[in-house]
């Protein structure tokens, strides 16, 4: 979640838009319920490391020290959250078909059709302005929250504080991830300090992601925009702001209008060099010629593709993997969630909703 406001607004109004992140009535009630449930947690006001961090943030961000200490101090340890950050057992097989079935189903497709029809003009405007197809935006919002149905029930301040100060040490990248969440907590505090809202109210995922698009605080600060022109950014209640912000996020990461995300790929087993093709993982690294030279077989439009490609492998448990050639745009989708399985789910859901729209 990072920050960016509508370029059509005057500077003073733009600052107001950035600072406002309203929570709907239903979210407010859920927040109160969650706050009650969190009372058994340990308050971070008792933790010296949390209070030192509060003082440091207040100093560097020029924030009111007492407010920062009170906000972090009011956060509660969510004892069940750290274990949710741990990777699954080593060697557990990945299964694309199972993963896909979690996101591409009749309920989500039907919800996507309703969302698209209700917001067709805004989706078309965003596609024209940012170059991101409507089906990509629809796919993201559907995979993330089923179009606002599941936006999370954890207090954001609790989630971010827990992962900043109690991230599990046994995680293989514990130091890196702890630093990431401290940065997100700092961004959240910086944004909330500019509002009249209660920082203990916003709800989100157990990782601190918020709203229909599940933006982290730094992404709200950099990419969220006021796309309905009402003078505030609202990723909870405004589909227009959500659509514009998701499209702006992709543009910020280098989405190329008109570029396919994937191409079909087969293999010439006589000259296949799978270790070479798999080495860069999802990072596009091969020209079409070098891709083919390593044993990939491309056809039609893919042979003329001027950019770089990556071989994307989707494992299927005991069955044979599925492979596609990923372009720069496929890589951009993985900047939202660093997983090729996630990116393929976004593409497939968007495709299925678009097909249902055309029936």
Angstrom distances, CA of residue 48 to CA of 44, 55, 76: 8, 11, 14
DSSP state of 86: S
* Residue whose structure tokens are 């006001």: 45
CB 240 within 8 A of CB 119: yes
CB 146 within 8 A of CB 164: no
Q: What is d(CA 240, CA 120) in angstroms, rounded to the nearest whole number?
A: 10
Three-state DSSP class for residue 13: helix
Q: What is d(CA 169, CA 103) in angstroms, rounded to the nearest whole number?
A: 31
Q: Work out the angle at residue 179's Cα, subtended by the Cα atoms of residues 89 and 250, and round it to the nearest 5 degrees.
A: 85
Radius of gyration for the alpha carbons in the chain, expressed in angstroms and rounded: 22
Of 32, 127, 135, 144, which is the active-site residue?
A: 144
Sign of dihedral through CA atoms 171, 175, 176, 178? Answer: positive
Is residue 144 part of the annotated active site? The answer reads yes
Three-state DSSP class for residue 310: strand
CB 337 within 8 A of CB 345: no
- 55 Cβ contact list (under 8 Å, min separation 6): 65, 68, 69
Element (H, E) at 323: strand 319-326
Query: Among all residues, which ones are annotated catalytic?
Result: 144
């Amino acid at each position: 979640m990072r920050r960016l406001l509508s370029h059509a607004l005057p500077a003073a109004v733009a600052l107001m838009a950035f600072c406002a992140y309203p929570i709907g009535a239903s979210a407010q009630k859920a927040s109160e319920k969650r706050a009650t449930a969190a009372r058994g947690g340990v308050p971070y006001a008792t933790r010296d490391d949390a209070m030192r961090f509060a003082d440091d943030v207040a100093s560097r961000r020029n924030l009111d020290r007492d407010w920062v200490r009170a906000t972090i101090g009011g956060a509660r340890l969510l004892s069940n959250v750290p274990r949710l950050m741990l990777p699954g057992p080593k060697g557990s097989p990945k299964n694309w078909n199972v993963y896909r079935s979690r996101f591409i189903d009749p309920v989500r497709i039907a919800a996507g059709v309703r969302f698209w029809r209700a917001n067709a003009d805004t989706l078309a405007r965003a596609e024209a302005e940012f170059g991101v197809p409507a089906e990509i935006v629809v796919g993201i919002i559907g995979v993330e929250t089923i179009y606002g149905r599941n936006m999370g029930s954890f207090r954001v301040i609790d989630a971010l504080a827990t992962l900043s100060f109690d991230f599990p040490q046994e995680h293989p990248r514990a130091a890196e991830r702890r630093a990431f969440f401290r940065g997100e907590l700092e961004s959240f505090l910086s944004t909330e300090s500019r509002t009249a809202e209660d920082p203990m109210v916003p709800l989100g995922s157990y990782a601190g992601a918020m709203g229909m698009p599940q933006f982290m605080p730094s992404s709200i600060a950099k990419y969220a925009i006021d796309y309905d022109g009402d003078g505030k950014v609202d990723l909870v209640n405004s589909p227009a702001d959500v659509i514009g912000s998701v499209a702006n996020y992709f543009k910020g990461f280098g989405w190329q209008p008109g570029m396919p995300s994937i191409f079909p790929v087969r293999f010439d087993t006589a000259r296949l060099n799978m270790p070479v093709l798999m080495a860069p993982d999802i990072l596009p690294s091969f020209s079409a010629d070098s891709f083919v030279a390593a044993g990939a077989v491309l056809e039609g439009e893919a042979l003329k593709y001027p950019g770089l490609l990556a071989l994307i492998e989707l494992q299927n448990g005991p069955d044979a993997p599925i492979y596609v050639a990923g372009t720069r745009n496929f890589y951009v989708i993985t900047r939202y969630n660093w997983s090729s399985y996630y990116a393929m789910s976004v593409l497939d859901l968007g495709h299925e909703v678009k097909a249902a729209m055309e029936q």
